[in-house]
Amino acid sequence: MKNKTLGQLAELVGGQVAGDPETKINAVATLEKAGNGDISFLTNQKYTNQLKTTKASAIIVAKDFKLNAKRYTLNADLLIADDPYYALSQIVVCLHGYREHPKTGISKNASIAKTATVPENCHIADCVTISENVSLGDRCFLYPNVFVGPNTKIGNDCILYPNAVIYDNCRLGNRVIIQANTTVGEDGFGFATYKGKHHKIPHIGSVIIEDDAEIGSGCGIERGTLDDTVIGTGAKIGDLVAIGHGTKIGPHCLLVAQVGISGSTTLGSYCVVGGQAGIAGHINIGNGVMIGAQSGVSNSIDSGKTVLGAPAVDAGRTRRTYVLLPRLPEMHKSIKRIQKRLDQLEKSEKS
């Protein structure tokens, strides 16, 4: 952990100080838990009330931050940034750094095929299995019980956490992170049903994970039936995500936990998919699409759209529908009353 002044941190993130630039900062904490020497942040307005009680020495805020002096007495200095959350990420790295990986060297208890290429600057832990014709790049870390299947190629500076499984013929780019208990390259859920029986289809495609992608814990990424499954550059996949055979995830997409995507679907770049959303197979999702949590997507979506609900439709329309839902019983009663009066009027006219 490093100590910095608030002025130094402001210079790091391209921000400005409102207060004392010589304030000593040694850690990052939430508004609720911060104490003397801590820097905190305010990026969500629902936490504004915590400004009354926080003991942080400094707080990262946006340029449009305005303090209601009648409601709050703020004893902390401010670091004003263009993007407070991004500034926070830079400051966390500066003060706390990333996890340091154990530099074990290549363990004698690892099983490494003679035909595998493993540079000496890699760190291979106990009980790792590296199969025939595997190629590892420089400075990779493989934690205990990792399995890498035959003919797989892994780039430089990759990290595979415990129990990660990479099947045969997969390709991982540079700086790829695979979290614990994730499987890459498993057979897809593909069967031909004939006369009541489900016949397994061999999946002869592969999985390609491009540079700087990160895959969360407990994920299943299926290999393609004929074509490859692709995870694009810089994509971030949350925990317990299932990606079907032949799916293409574009660059810099974010998939939150428990998303499920069926086979042969394409996502463009910079898409965001909320937790527990389900996406049908053989459809195209454009660039920059936002899909709300627990949505069910059954049709293709044009670029730039924001959708929500099941079935997923325009988010504004879905929100209006959700607002009406609690009123449906009352509306139903009103309609029945109106219908009853109409029936009475019709009877009166006939008589």
Residue 1: what pLDDT?
60
Query: How large a percentage of the chain has pLDDT more than 90?
Result: 81
Q: Are residues 311 and 322 in the same domain?
A: no
CATH number reported for the structural domain that contains residue 186 in this entry:
2.160.10.10
| Structure token digits, residue 285 | 């999702």
User: Sorting pLDDT into bands at 50, 70 and 90, what band is 73?
Assistant: low
Residues 291 and 299: their CA atoms lie apart, in Å, by: 12
Q: Are residues 57 and 162 in the same domain?
A: no
Q: Are residues 84 and 164 in the same domain?
A: no
SS3 129: strand
| Structure token digits, residue 170 | 């997969």
Strands 266-267 and 16-18: unpaired
Residue 268: what pLDDT?
98
Active-site annotation, residues: 245
Residue 71: what pLDDT?
58
Instruction: Give per-residue pLDDT as tens, 230-240.
Output: 999 999 999 99
Tokens 């002096």, residue located:
69
Domain enclosing residue 78, as ranges: 4-96
In a domain, 87, yes or no: yes
Burial of 84 (0-12, 13-18, 19+ CB in 10 A): buried
Instruction: Give per-residue pLDDT as tens, 80-129.
Output: 999 999 999 999 999 999 999 999 999 999 999 999 999 999 999 999 99
Name, in order, each residue with C-beta under 8 angstroms of 12's C-beta and a sequence gap of 6 or more: 4, 90, 91, 94
Instruction: Record the pTM.
Output: 0.88
| Residue among 287, 136, 269 nearest 213 (CA) | 269
